[in-house]
Structure 1
Amino acid sequence: MLKSLVTGANGFVGSAVARCLLNAGHEVRCLVRPGSDRRNLYQLPVEISEGDLRSAPSLKRAVAGCDNLFHVAADYRLWVPNPETMYDINVKGTQALILAAAEAGMRRMVYTSSVATLGTTQDGVPANEDTPSSLLAMNGHYKRSKFMAEQVVQRMADEHKLHLLIVNPSTPMGPRDIRPTPTGRIVVDTLRGRMPAYVNTGLNVAHSDDIARGHLLAYAHGKPGERYILGGENMTLLQILQAIDTIGGKRKKRVSLPVRMILPAAWLMEKMAMVTNVEPRVTVDSVRMAKQKMFYSSDKAIRELGYQYRPATEALEDAMNWFLANGYCG
């Protein structure tokens, strides 16, 4: 029986990947930080390996005896009081983990990146894996750190001749978003009546379970050194909010706000966050990202991996039901 290591397996996408691997007959070892929230792993027949991407000895312990690696863990925040921590985890941690896995003789490795590293188009045409992007075009430390991590992964795949490939999930929606993630907060805030306005932006919405299955398809059929977008349906933010309203049976009127009107408020919230150390509800980077429609195409993954995705409304409904059932909207 194959044994796979999943980093970030207690998180949103990571737990979905762990479940898919278990259903496919893999033994699963989960690298999780000491003291981390492990609700997503309760009652799952997995092995826990405590460690940290910044601790080389813990990485060596985690990879020992495993056949495959699914590196899903990342510091995913749109605001951080100390950006260096994010680079230590997302860039240096990724490099250390892959090196440890290579030295342990791992057969196959899948690195979970993000569509945030990809370029976008000015006319709203869905971008793909070949749409030009650059480090200078990355807004914020999260996007920059993930872009740099991809460069590390691609370089190590070439230098060490590894069966290592990259998947780029879009905007995941679905159950078990325990934090919740910035995108999950869109659903929670809408359900709580905190989204009276919107900006003219767009996202590619995919069910977290479809993204997880895409990881296994990439593991089975992906080509070393390649990257694959694991996405879903392109929707404007207004369409997302209206879909949540429709599913919940409550239609609401909203006003459109230009991005320039939100920037000063985001700047002020970040300044307050530096004092309170509480993550701001809106960040300058998130507002700047909203200037573009983040639409993407999964055609390559569909063609080469056999990837499939369900309608975005199903992802939104599953997310809504989970948040409501777990007391996030009270």
Structure 2
Amino acid sequence: MWLAEDFARWGLDVRVVCPGMVFGPGDIGPTPSGQLVINVARGETPAYTDGGCSYVDVRDVARVHRLVLERGAPGERYLATAHNLSNKDFFQTIARIAGTGQRFPWIPTRVARGYIRLLAAIAIRRGQDPLLSPAMFDYSCRPPYFDNRRSIEELGASYRPIEETIEDAIAYFRGRGML
């Protein structure tokens, strides 16, 4: 049971926003999703595997939070996500916008899973957080695609094109010397 559900049962006005894979400008960390954009834009991502993700611009997620407060129903959950893309399509879009021209060969999921586990073990041994945990890798292989119709129809949400988000993220990272 989620804590938010308990609060709603107690009569508190709980409204939940569930975002997809969030990225975009302003990622000072960078977060793992921002680092993925940086790595692909640098040409440092050698291949792709099966799977994909549901991506959304951080600015759109912020707007959905505001809309949920203004128009959302108490006790409800709203998805804030925009673009369901395969790993291949996401990587190729970043490479095209970044101007790398990189092509990404496909590698079998079993091979990639072993490689991700090895990289995670090395990162942990060095006292670092892995860029991609084995659990997140497995999750992305499903793929976790979502439908945003409810946020559009009930809240009036709108989502910018993925290309705009990628362009703005790359410009942000370049402007800060991160790319």
TM-score band w.r.t. shorter chain:
over 0.9
Q: What one-letter code is carried by the residue in structure 1 that aligns with 2:9?
A: D
CA contact (8 A) 1:199 1:290 kept: no
Deviation at 1:271, TM superposition (A): 2.7
Q: Following superposition, which runs of at least 4 residues in structure 1 exceed 3 angstroms of deviation?
A: none
Q: How many Å separate the matches in 1 of 2:36 and 2:123? A: 20
Percent identity of equivalent pairs: 30
Correspondence for 1:302 among 142, 152, 160: 152
Correspondence for 1:233 among 83, 90, 109: 83
Deviation at 1:242, TM superposition (A): 1.2
Q: How many Å separate the matches in 2 of 1:322 and 1:258? A: 33
Higher relative contact order (CA 8 A, sep 6+): 2
Per-residue CA deviation, residues 56-102 of structure 1 (Å, 9 max, x unaligned), is xxxxxxxxxxxxxxxxxxxxxxxxxxxxxxxxxxxxxxxxxxxxxxx
- Residues 245/283 of structure 1: CA separation in 2 closer, same or farther (3 Å cut): same
Secondary structure at the aligned position of 1:321 is classed as helix
CA contact (8 A) 2:18 2:80 kept: yes
Counterpart position of 2:9: 158
> 1:174-323 maps to which residues of 2 (within 5 A)?
174-323=24-173
Q: Where does structure 1 lack aligned partners over 5 or more consecutive residues?
A: 1-147
Structure exhibiting the larger radius of gyration computed from Cα positions? 1
Per-residue CA deviation, residues 280-311 of structure 1 (Å, 9 max, x unaligned), is 23321122113211211111111111111111
CA contact (8 A) 1:175 1:323 kept: yes
TM-score of the two chains, using structure 2 as the length reference: 0.93
TM-score of the two chains, using structure 1 as the length reference: 0.52
CA contact (8 A) 1:259 1:287 kept: no
Secondary structure at the aligned position of 2:22 is classed as strand
Deviation at 1:207, TM superposition (A): 1.4
How many residue pairs get matched?
Answer: 179
